[in-house]
Amino acid sequence: MNSDQCNGILSILTDGMVLLLCNMYSKITDIKTVCLNKEGDAVIILDQTRLPGEEMYLSLSSAEDLYNAIKRLKVRGAPAIGIAAAYGLYVFSRQIKANSYIDFYHSFKGIEDYLAKARPTAVNLQAALDRMDRVVTANASATLPAIQNLLRKEAELIREEDAAACHRIGELGLSLLRPGMGLLTHCNAGHLAVSEYGTALAPIYLGEARGYHFKVFADETRPLLQGARLTAYELHKSGIDVTLICDNMASFVMKKGWIQAVVVGCDRVAANGDVANKIGTSGVAILARHYGIPFYVLGPTSTIDTDCPNGDSIIIEERNPDEITEMWYACRMAPKGVKAYNPAFDITPHELITAIVTEKRIVYPPFDRLV
């Protein structure tokens, strides 16, 4: 689905309304995860909390709506969050009533700071907000309509750059793999998490188009089940051989010799190569090292935080304990009052990583020149 098709279908939405696509597109890459509506006054997202049962879009026209969509994982994946935030700042900048640049920037900065708090771990959110902020501060002498137009162009550029990066990551990642390999992935780093194609799943899509016939094993990824609900959904929808496994089955399928490489995405990469990714990633890396399986991290350079020296410096988001105790069950599956700890991410130390694949190059240890 190209941009014009997206806008043509989604422009019928009004605030608070949704459009159910009813599986009208056979391939996941035909679906846009994040875009602007035709009028440019709302951000349109695919509601990922409803997948795989419903392919439903939401129209977000307020900062509160976008904040909640990011916080509640209606839009998720580090690059997709950044793109949504960039589009959002453009949309919300048009809503600001100001008589001067100073008044405009004061309101704009308040919205920016508010959105930055939605999810603290993924670096792409803050990076996109910073880029949009620089557009405003670099054009203080311009008219407000001119600034708003520049904000839209910057948001579109962020999306275009991410799409190009994903395709390049796919090419470089595929160079590390051989036809017929068994691949294990954790969480969702595919088309749903970015603008197009994905990061960890990008070489899988390219390989499928070129006859590689990979056999993919997708960890379910507790507690939010991004592997079961999202990765299995998009790979299956695209006709790729995918088998869903519980997180605690990874060691068993590795021991059987069914896995020849692990491919995962990343939400933040520290300057020393430590990686923050969905909770459970570090355990997969430890298992891969034990069985002598290469462990590849794939992500755009926008996820690299050169100001963060190591994984210990990364803020780990903690989420509501009910995601563990009751969210996915017909009735509560843990005793009332029991303590529950629910970090959204963990840190994979750089010494467990075989290579980090960005759109620029494949980086091997030592990871002292990531960008």
Give the CATH number of the domain where residue 200 resides.
3.40.50.10470
- Collect contacts of 126-129 with beta carbons under 8 A, ≥24 apart: 127/82, 127/302, 128/82, 128/83, 128/85, 128/86, 128/158, 129/85, 129/86, 129/89
117 in a domain, yes or no?
Answer: yes
Asked if 141 and 275 sit in the same domain, the reply is no
* Residue 224: pLDDT over 50: yes
pLDDT digits (tens, 9 = 90+) for 245-298: 999 999 999 999 999 999 999 999 999 999 999 999 999 999 999 999 999 999
* Residue 24: pLDDT over 70: no
pLDDT digits (tens, 9 = 90+) for 333-356: 999 999 999 999 999 999 999 999
Which phi-psi region, left, alpha or beta, contains residue 287 (left: φ > 0; alpha: ψ -120 to 50)? alpha
Asked if 206 and 305 sit in the same domain, the reply is yes
Question: Where residue 139 sits, what CATH number does that domain have?
Answer: 1.20.120.420
DSSP assignment letter at 190: B
Burial class of 120 by CB neighbour count within 10 A (0 to 12, 13 to 18, 19+) = middle
Q: Is 267 a catalytic residue?
A: yes
How much is the pLDDT for 132?
98
**Tokens, residue 361:** 């190059």
The catalytic position among 65, 247, 267, 346 is 267
* Residue 5: pLDDT over 70: no
CB-based contact 269:275 (threshold 8 Å):
yes
273 in a domain, yes or no?
Answer: yes
* Residue 7: pLDDT over 70: no
55 in a domain, yes or no?
Answer: yes
Residue finishing a domain among 113, 135, 166: 166
pLDDT digits (tens, 9 = 90+) for 31-83: 889 999 999 999 999 999 999 999 899 999 999 999 999 999 999 999 999 99
Q: For residue 368, name the pLDDT band (cuts at 50, 70, 90).
A: confident
Asked if 350 and 323 sit in the same domain, the reply is yes
* Residue 100: pLDDT over 60: yes
pLDDT digits (tens, 9 = 90+) for 118-153: 998 878 999 999 999 999 999 999 999 999 999 999
Low-confidence winner among 61-70, 163-172, 362-371 (lowest mean pLDDT): 362-371
pTM: 0.89
Q: Which residue has the higher pLDDT, 15 or 55?
A: 55
| Cα separation, 49 vs 206, whole angstroms | 27
Q: For residue 189, name the pLDDT band (cuts at 50, 70, 90).
A: very high
How much is the pLDDT for 122?
77
| Cα separation, 151 vs 112, whole angstroms | 13
Going by DSSP bridges, is the β-strand pair 34-36/43-46 parallel, antiparallel, or unpaired? antiparallel
Asked if 142 and 197 sit in the same domain, the reply is no
How much is the pLDDT for 292?
98
Asked if 197 and 338 sit in the same domain, the reply is yes
Question: What whole-number percentage of the chain has pLDDT above 70?
Answer: 93
Asked if 333 and 217 sit in the same domain, the reply is yes
How much is the pLDDT for 99?
93
Asked if 48 and 154 sit in the same domain, the reply is yes
| Cα separation, 200 vs 204, whole angstroms | 8
Q: What is the mean pLDDT of the chain?
A: 92
How much is the pLDDT for 123?
86
31 in a domain, yes or no?
Answer: yes
**Tokens, residue 314:** 């990364």
How much is the pLDDT for 371?
75
Instruction: Count how many domains the chain has.
Output: 2
* Residue 8: pLDDT over 80: no
pLDDT digits (tens, 9 = 90+) for 322-337: 999 998 888 999 999 9
Residue finishing a domain among 117, 137, 166: 166
Asked if 64 and 189 sit in the same domain, the reply is no
| Cα angle 176, 178, 182; round to 5 | 100
Mean pLDDT of 110-119: 96
Residue finishing a domain among 119, 137, 166: 166
Question: What whole-number percentage of the chain has pLDDT above 90?
Answer: 87
Asked if 145 and 199 sit in the same domain, the reply is no
Q: For residue 26, name the pLDDT band (cuts at 50, 70, 90).
A: low
* Residue 196: pLDDT over 80: yes
Q: Which residue has the higher pLDDT, 329 or 198?
A: 198
* Residue 25: pLDDT over 80: no
Asked if 199 and 62 sit in the same domain, the reply is no
Q: Which residue has the higher pLDDT, 9 or 112?
A: 112
Asked if 109 and 28 sit in the same domain, the reply is yes
User: What is the number of alpha carbons within 13 Å of residue 273 lying toward its C-beta?
Assistant: 20
Please report how the helices 101-116 and 123-137 are oriented relative to each other, as an axis angle in degrees rounded to 10. 180
How much is the pLDDT for 28?
76
Q: For residue 15, name the pLDDT band (cuts at 50, 70, 90).
A: very low
**Tokens, residue 109:** 């900065």
| Cα separation, 220 vs 227, whole angstroms | 4
Residue in the structure block whose two tokens are 């279908």: 9
What would the DSSP string read from start to end of 99-163?
SSHHHHHHHHHHHHHHHHTS-SS-HHHHHHHHHHHHHHHTTTTS-HHHHHHHHHHHHHHHHHHHH
334 in a domain, yes or no?
Answer: yes
| Cα separation, 320 vs 235, whole angstroms | 29
221 in a domain, yes or no?
Answer: yes
Asked if 35 and 141 sit in the same domain, the reply is yes
171 in a domain, yes or no?
Answer: no
Query: Domain of 116?
Result: 3-166
369 in a domain, yes or no?
Answer: no
